[in-house]
Amino acid sequence: MSRYWIGVASRDHVGRGVAGGFAQLCHGKAGPLARMQPGDGLVYYSPREQFAGDTPCQCFTAIGLVQPGQPYQVQMAADFTPWRRDVQFLPATAAAIRPLLTRLACIPDPQHWGQAFRFGMLQISAADFRLIAAAMTATLPADMPME
């Protein structure tokens, strides 16, 4: 049974993952990626445009499917070897979160909607995943289970 996830990362970091075909979550921790299985859906929410910047983004910025294989480490710097997982990203356009706040089950309190994203990753329902995919004009594979 497939599961569906939102990962939180700045738009510039998401762009690197999309270009490289990988997901990296929670500052490179292995645990969040280990919870995912091949065929799971992943959508990225980007609170900011850049990791080191203040410019808000507040959009869903990428959507894809977790690929076969296990999380793996890469050497990015002498003291930074983050974990990654392969993801096939789908063609999509960024979608602002605010118009969806009252329709997403993963946002229990639309007034304090940012709280849902504070841990860097959260599991969501198939219905929320479909809603976000539609807002991003992404075409999901016909054989993707949507329980």
pLDDT in tens, 10-69: 999 999 999 999 999 988 898 999 999 999 999 999 999 888 778 889 999 999 999 999
Write the DSSP symbol of residue 65: E
Environment class of residue 120 by beta-carbon count within 10 Å: exposed (0-12), middle (13-18) or buried (19+)? middle
Judge: domain 4-135, CATH 3.10.590.10.
Answer: yes
Using DSSP, state whether 78 is helix, strand or coil. Answer: coil
> Distance (Å, rounded) from C-alpha 137 to C-alpha 75?
34
Domain locations in the chain as residue ranges:
4-135
| 10, 51 contact by CB (below 8 A) | yes
For the entire predicted model, the pTM comes to 0.93
pLDDT band (50, 70, 90) for residue 74? confident
pLDDT at 92: 97
